[in-house]
Copies of this chain bind each other. A is one copy, B any other.
Amino acid sequence: MTEETARPVIRVLLADDEGMIRSALAALLRLEGDIDVIAECADGLQAVAEAERLQPDVCLLDLEMPGLDGVEVAERLRRTIAARCVVVTRHARPGVLRRALSAGVAGFLPKSRDAGEVAAVIRRVAAGARYVDPEIAADALSDERCPLTDRELDVLRAGRRGETTAQIARALSLAPGTVRNHVSAILAKLAVDTRQQAVLLSQDRGWI
């Protein structure tokens, strides 16, 4: 980089629970002259803490992390620091993208893309632009929004591990019959036959 003033070093925080990809991305980014990886985090809470401490220019956040996921991290950081966030995800679905954008995320990149693109996206985002993967963006335009009501999503979430009706009812302080009713509505709306299929479909779409 010959023009340090025109292109100052971009300070990047990296968060991904998968050690191999985290370290690989960090190594590749460090090869770029204008990018400085100042922190590597393995979960969402750590990412928030380090970001608030170090005030990076850009946060590169994996979506799937224990504790807080990438979008939740971005949402918290929006209120406390000025960093711009890029969310990277394995399962890039329109629902997830919508969630990310409404959390103020500046970049959205599926892990199916080449690692070489990451540096380019970081530069664009650091320069104030937004970047959304074109393919996902196209999908998001012509897709169906989640047809489930809030309470139905609660029920689905409470039963996503195969919990029994009685357990869900206890967790949400409802009568078992009410839970069954919600489940019934969910199955009808999603046009599937069992709870498990409803859970899989909703996870696939990024609704839960």
Contacts and interface: CB of A to CB of B under 8 A. Distances in A.
A161 interface: yes
B196 A162 contact: yes
A116 B19 contact: no
Contacts of A161: 196-197, 200
A23 B196 CA distance: 35
B20 A113 contact: yes
- Oligomeric state, in copies: 2
Interface residues of A, number: 31
Given A24-B28, A28-B24, A195-B196, A112 B164 contact: no
A199 interface: yes
Contacts of A111: 18-21
A116 B23 contact: yes
Contact of A24 (B19, B115, B164, B197): B115
Interface of A: 18-21, 23-25, 27-28, 88, 90, 111-116, 118, 161-164, 192-200
